[in-house]
Amino acid sequence: MSEDIAYHEYDVLVIGAGGAGLRAAIEAAENGLKTAVLGKSLLGKAHTVMAEGGVAAALGNVDPQDGWETHFYDTCRSAHFINDYRMAEIHAKEAPDRVLELEYWGAVFDRTPEGKIMQRPFGAHSFRRLAHVGDRTGKEIIRTLEQKIMTLNVDVYQEITATKLFKDQERIAGCIAYYREDGRFAVFTAKAVVIATGGWGKAYKVTSNSWESTGDGAALAFRAGAELADMEMVQFHPTGMTWPPGARGILVTEGVRGEGGFLCNSEGERFMEKYDPVRKDLSSRDVVARGIYKEVKAGRGTPHGGAWLDITHKGAAFIKHKLPGMYEQLLSLADVDITKSRFEVAPTIHYTMGGLRVDPYTGATSVPGLFAAGECAAGLHGANRLGGNSLSDILVFGRRAGAGAMEYAKDTKMPKIDDTEVQAEVERVLAPLSRTEGENPYKLHEDLQEIMAAHAGIERNGQSLEEGLGRIQELRERTEHQMAKGSRQFNPGWHGVFDVQNMVLLGEAIIRGAIERKESRGAQWRTDFPDELENQGKVNYVQRLTDHGIELHPEPVPEMPEELARLFKLGMAPGLANSARKE
Amino acid sequence: MPDEITLSVYRGDKSGGQEVEYKVPIQTGMVVLDALHFIQAHDAPDLAVRWNCKAAHCGSCSAEINGSPKLLCKTRVDDYVGEVIHIRPMHSFPVIKDLVTDVSWNYEKLRQVPAFQPAIKAPFTLQQRDVDRIQEFRNCIECFLCQNICHVLRDHDAKDRYWGPRLMIRIAELEMHPLDTGDRLDLLKGAAGVGMCNITKCCTVVCPQGIDITDNGIIPLKERVADVYWDPLGGLVRKLHK
């Protein structure tokens, strides 16, 4: 074969150029390691850019009672206690420093009257906690990281897709990738690899996710022997757009409710008072999404199958200042002026809580030298993620995975990649272009989305999940015979072949996890097992890919030590209990 | 409304190309990017278009629609009822394939801007009114439509003398940060070429984020440069101080 392949060597290779990947690369590069970042898109376009409401950090700028204990408490409660308490503790303690670091690097957050970073209320946070910039916080964060990366000696490879990880014996050795522009291949040998490729929301049709969210890194690592955990936990965000059809699923930030908006059914009833009398519209996402779904099922839905969201009472000036992006988005895409009228929203797939099983301190996966951070990793969010906790997650654990990879890389030699494996992968990746007949990747993607919606949506049951498993296994077989018309030059049909393979693999893992978890907890709602069960709360379902397919086993949830467990016995949020004691 | 619409889409690469017509069934509220996705799924799986969020947050899907620089995800098909929609790549950047252009020049220039140099450690104390202006600039989504329409870059291809509106806004957000200690005026006057802008405001018109690029960004930068380099009285005072 006369394939012209470029070869590169790095100490730390980061796959994924969203917030977690950039933060990991900054950590490694600032400490002098030879570092590269690979991204499927242009720099600064990754899915982080779409985060709207804010980054959760107990700075206590608006509510001084807030502190890490309460952030920890809120995170674990929303996770329904199947998260890794160590990650929740690290996250709550380190998030404020990571936010201030961004400010020092040039991020410009909204301010309080005293000139501090402003913090807004959000669902299931006990205090006003989300540092934000209007409703475009993710953009501010990724832009800041992009600008920081540009000051460092980091090689950024844009519009390049990794298709396979290589190992040298048991340890990681690097990856092969192709440039989207012209289909050239590049092999990256690296002492340590960080996976930071985000989630796989695109396995579903109605989703707030961008096209990139196809779970590439998680799938690549899974094939390389890393373990996945909590795959059944897929978050529905309560408020996606419902209309027009092309815009269905696009996110309407939780900030609308955070800033005072409320939900109503078709009869004008504020139904969240029924489902969560205390937190109401600002309950956790699993509860609000299920609330809307139940109202629609009971025949009290809006014309396009959702609920009304109303913030008109706050006035045009306030809305345009606090939620300028939402005002513009609804006006231009749906012809609705949200300062004058209520609008329809419905649940949309938003976030994958499950993912690569990692060490809480370093982000190390079960493959030596392979690390993971951000949405592609599991552990922090358990059965349900709190709004604002993903932006803090990528900063806290992006940095930690970068540091973990750096420490590993310091003490190891450059691994070797077997050339026969490289050649085999080149052949596999090019094969769809030379087939004269085969499956259409666009059609397979549609079929996948139909299967996931029908069998592993917001409401699940054992029988339907089993059917879904059979169907997705058939689909997985079909993904091996895809065909791409055209050349290697920027060819979306060809690129889609690998996206679909990755999503189908992870889709199967979602269904398998959902079958095994015979209870309802957080995002997992089983109508045949409607209750949250004590024994199920003690396990995470962990999956491995073997020669015989996916194998699944339970692992015990790490048990909290007494000094943390006591925080949940106060009868209220720790911050509130502290101030009550002082009074 | 008719049932279908005709899109005439540029197909080609650096060696050349031409527009190809496709018929697409109209769905209510459809945007041009939806129509291109339909073409990819049904007629031309290898049609190259760059996009990410489909919600006007990321600035990836820049193109020229009937001659106007726009985001494909934000442009409604029903704005063009009765017309053929011509879609072409951005004119000011080299075509890679179809609607995808090589915008790497912008990133090269962004790398050359001296970074934020804060006077103190965070946390900062900053009043909202003092950061409103730079927040406007930081709302940029780097779609590069302003770079595409700027006649200095578009008609005169003077990329060696002027870095364009996006870069001016990047420099402005740093220069106007209350805590920044960096000095980019030499750069502005020299390599970045703020003097090349002759205030036709085309960039401001096409900005999908509504940033007042010319009035709020470029003109104040021109004034700062003029203050330092061209004000005779100020120059004399500075000379005497030395």
**Does residue B207 share a domain with residue B116?**
yes
Residue B229: predicted pLDDT: 87
- Position B238 in a domain: no
**Which residues in chain A are contacts of B60 at CB distance < 8 A?**
41-42, 45
Which of B35, B70, B101 represents a domain boundary (last residue)?
B101
**Does residue B114 share a domain with residue B65?**
no
Are A92 and A69 in contact by the 8 Å Cβ rule? The answer is yes
Residue B237: predicted pLDDT: 78
- Position B149 in a domain: yes
From the list B41, B46, B127, which residue is nearest A111 (CB)?
B127
**Owning domain of residue B141:** 104-233
Residue B242: predicted pLDDT: 64
To the question of pTM greater than 0.90 for the whole model, the response is yes
From the list B46, B52, B177, which residue is nearest A492 (CB)?
B46
The CATH number covering residue B114 comes to 1.10.1060.10
**Does residue B120 share a domain with residue B212?**
yes
Give yes or no for A136 touching B (CB within 8 A). yes
**Does residue B212 share a domain with residue B116?**
yes
Cα gap A73→A79, rounded to integer Å: 10
Those residues of chain A that have pLDDT short of 70 are 1, 583
- Position B44 in a domain: yes
**Which residues in chain A are contacts of B135 at CB distance < 8 A?**
108, 110, 133-134
**Does residue B114 share a domain with residue B77?**
no
The CATH number covering residue B25 comes to 3.10.20.30
Which of B54, B78, B101 represents a domain boundary (last residue)?
B101
Residue B238: predicted pLDDT: 72
**Does residue B116 share a domain with residue B63?**
no
**Does residue B135 share a domain with residue B84?**
no
Residue B125 has pLDDT above 90, yes or no: yes
**Does residue B118 share a domain with residue B92?**
no
- Position B166 in a domain: yes
**Does residue B168 share a domain with residue B141?**
yes
Residue B239: predicted pLDDT: 73
**Which residues in chain B are contacts of A329 at CB distance < 8 A?**
55-56
**Does residue B126 share a domain with residue B55?**
no
Cα gap A386→B109, rounded to integer Å: 38
Q: Give A376-406 pLDDT, tens digit per residue.
A: 999 999 999 999 999 999 999 999 999 999 9
Cα gap A251→A138, rounded to integer Å: 13
The domains found in chain A, sorted by start residue, are: 237-347 (3.90.700.10), 429-531 (1.20.58.100)
- Position B8 in a domain: yes
Q: Nearest-CA distance from A472 to chain B in Å?
A: 21
**Residue A558 DSSP code:** P
Cα gap A524→A512, rounded to integer Å: 12
Q: Nearest-CA distance from A212 to chain B in Å?
A: 7
Torsion angle in degrees (nearest 10) through CA of A521, A525, A527, A531: 10
Is residue B232 very low, low, confident or very high in pLDDT (cuts 50, 70, 90)?
A: confident
What is the distance of C-alpha B176 from the center of its chain?
Answer: 20
Determine which of B42, B54, B113, B140 to mutate to test the interface with A (most A C-beta atoms within 10 Å): B54
In the block, which residue shows the tokens 């303690």? A93
- Position B136 in a domain: yes
- Position B239 in a domain: no
Q: Which of A120, A136, A237, A517 is catalytic?
A: A237
- Position B242 in a domain: no
In the block, which residue shows the tokens 């409304």? B1
Q: Give A521-532 pLDDT, tens digit per residue.
A: 999 999 999 999
Rounded alpha-carbon distances, angstroms, from residue A179 to A13, A146, A161, A541, B69: 16, 20, 6, 36, 27
Which of B101, B126, B154 represents a domain boundary (last residue)?
B101
Determine which of B116, B147, B166 to mutate to test the interface with A (most A C-beta atoms within 10 Å): B116
Which chain A residue is nearest to residue B95, measuring alpha carbons?
A181
| Structural domains of chain B, count | 2
Residue A583: predicted pLDDT: 64
**Does residue B95 share a domain with residue B130?**
no
Cα gap B44→B41, rounded to integer Å: 7
**Does residue B69 share a domain with residue B19?**
yes
